[in-house]
Structure formats: C-alpha cells, structure tokens
C-alpha cells in the first residue's frame, strides 16, 4: 500500500494554497488558475525548463527559479508577476523573434501561434534587439508535413513527444546556442527518416509554424493537442 502524499502549504502571489509535496510550482499554479507564461511546457510531456518564461521569484532566493522544474515546499512564498519578471519575459520573447525569421502575416498558424499569443499577452509592440535574419532552410521532403527552421524556437516539444509518447526518437537537437537546429534521424531530410511513423504528433505540439501540415495556407492551421494528456495517462496506466 502506497503512503499518502504529503500535503504542504505555500503562498503564490499572496494566496495561501495547499499542494502535494511532489508537485511543481507551475502545476500548483495551473490548478489554481494562476497564469504563468510558458512555451516549452505542455501537459503530458516532461518539463525541461528550456524557454525560461516560467521563472518566478521565491522569497529568500535571489536567483529566479523555473516554475516548471521547482518543487513546492512548506512555507514557500512565490511571486509570479512583478516588474522584474515582466521585463525579463518580454526580453525572452523579443530575442526569440530576433533570432529567427518570424513573419506572422504569411504564417500558416497566424492567429493560432503560442509565440504570437504571448507577445500580445505580455504587451510587446516592438523588438528592441537587432534582427539576425539567418538564412535557414525549409524541409518539405516529407509526404505530409514540412519543417521551417525559420520559425523554430527550440522548445524541444517535438523531440519529447516523439521520444516519450510515440517512442520513435526521430527528432533531436544539433549544434549549440543560437546555432542549434532540430533534426530528424542523423540529420537526414525528414522524408528520408526511417524512424518517423508519420503520426503527426510533433506537428500538433509545435507552438509555432515551424512544423506544419502541407496544403495549409496562411492562418489555416490550428494545432490539436487534446490527445496528449490522454495518451500520457493511458501509458502510465499500462506501466502500473
């Protein structure tokens, strides 16, 4: 018989909240309708703290902490919104726009893009960093889908869903820093990746138009992600 989960009490934005000791700050915040911006996080996938948008302030800790990877503890006092956090998050979004070539007006997910939504939500009207305008390719070798490196934000959702849910391990990251790129198999064209099952899970979890279905025009593609928590739950049940 499993021991009951320990309950802890913490404060988030001044609200006293009860939580299980194994939960993260982000999980507890979402359960209590407290909004924390995220891009790499997606329910049903492991959290890696890549986008850093969910950083929060914790009393007694000078360094900002990622809400998705920080476990709650008794008496913790968390702040999710402040002038410091707003400025930091705005800078992250602006840097994402500056590093690649995000042209919303001609994107297949215009109006359905997580990056675009957060830019609006955080009040970003201008990018204060110089645009890099990298010369990046579009891989349209797959029969049904395409990859536009210009719109990738390196959230690794595609890598994780392919590994953790589909079990194909097709996607990976090549390079480091701003030179990083998502690749299929051993940096082969997507259409030649023998491990790919063409399930489309990677396309639907992608937060931008980096992965999209062929034949979709501007603003026509809305990603479908409702399957992910269900599949993850079923997988966990099978392993019990």
What does the pLDDT look like over 184-206, one tens digit per residue?
Answer: 999 999 999 999 999 999 999 99
What is d(CA 16, CA 179) in angstroms, rounded to the nearest whole number? 43
Condensed to tens digits (0 to 9), the pLDDT of residues 15-48 reads 999 999 999 999 999 999 999 999 999 999 999 9
Q: Residue 185 in 3-state DSSP?
A: coil
CATH 3.10.300.10 fits 7-39+49-81, yes or no: no
Class of domain 107-227 (CATH, top level): alpha beta
> How far is the CA of 150 from the CAs of 4, 100, 141, 234, in angstroms?
48, 5, 16, 35
> b or e along 13-35 (b: 16 or more beta carbons within 10 Å of the residue's beta carbon)?
eeeebebeeebbbbbbbbeeebe
- CATH 3.30.70.20 residue ranges in the chain? 107-227
Per-residue confidence (pLDDT) for residue 238, from 0 to 100: 57
Q: Residue 85 in 3-state DSSP?
A: helix
Residue 235: name the closest of 161, 169, 179, 185 by CA.
Answer: 161
- CATH 3.10.20.740 residue ranges in the chain? 7-39+49-81
What is d(CA 209, CA 217) in angstroms, rounded to the nearest whole number? 11
Q: Which residues pair with 10 in a beta bridge?
A: 17
- Ranking 38-47, 63-72, 216-225 by mean pLDDT, the lowest is 216-225
What is d(CA 36, CA 33) in angstroms, rounded to the nearest whole number? 9
pLDDT above 90 as % of the chain: 85
State yes or no: pLDDT of 3 exceeds 80: no
What is d(CA 222, CA 201) in angstroms, rounded to the nearest whole number? 13
Write down the residue that tokens 């902490």 correspond to: 65
Condensed to tens digits (0 to 9), the pLDDT of residues 163-173 reads 999 999 999 99
Write down the residue that tokens 């009490």 correspond to: 9
């Amino acid at each position: 018989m499993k021991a009951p989960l320990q309950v802890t009490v913490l404060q988030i934005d001044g609200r006293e909240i009860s939580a299980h000791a194994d939960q993260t700050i982000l999980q507890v915040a979402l359960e209590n309708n407290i909004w924390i911006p995220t891009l790499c996080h997606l329910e049903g996938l492991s959290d890696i703290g890549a986008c850093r948008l969910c950083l929060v302030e914790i009393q007694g800790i000078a360094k900002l902490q990622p809400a998705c990877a920080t476990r709650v503890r008794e008496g913790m006092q968390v702040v999710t919104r402040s002038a410091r956090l707003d400025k930091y998050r705005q800078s992250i979004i602006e840097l994402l726009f500056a590093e690649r070539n995000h042209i919303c007006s001609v994107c297949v997910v215009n109006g359905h893009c997580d990056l675009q939504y957060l830019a609006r939500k955080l009040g970003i009207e201008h990018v204060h960093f110089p645009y890099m305008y990298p010369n990046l390719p579009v891989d349209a070798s797959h029969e049904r889908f395409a990859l536009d490196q210009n719109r990738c934000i390196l959230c690794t959702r595609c890598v994780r869903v392919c590994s953790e849910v589909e079990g194909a391990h097709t996607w990976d990251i090549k390079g480091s820093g701003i030179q990083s790129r998502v690749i299929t198999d051993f940096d082969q064209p997507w259409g030649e990746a023998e491990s790919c099952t063409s399930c489309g899970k990677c396309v639907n979890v992608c937060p931008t138009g980096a992965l999209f279905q062929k034949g979709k025009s501007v603003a026509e593609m809305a990603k479908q992600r409702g399957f992910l928590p269900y599949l993850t739950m079923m997988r966990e049940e099978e392993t019990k």
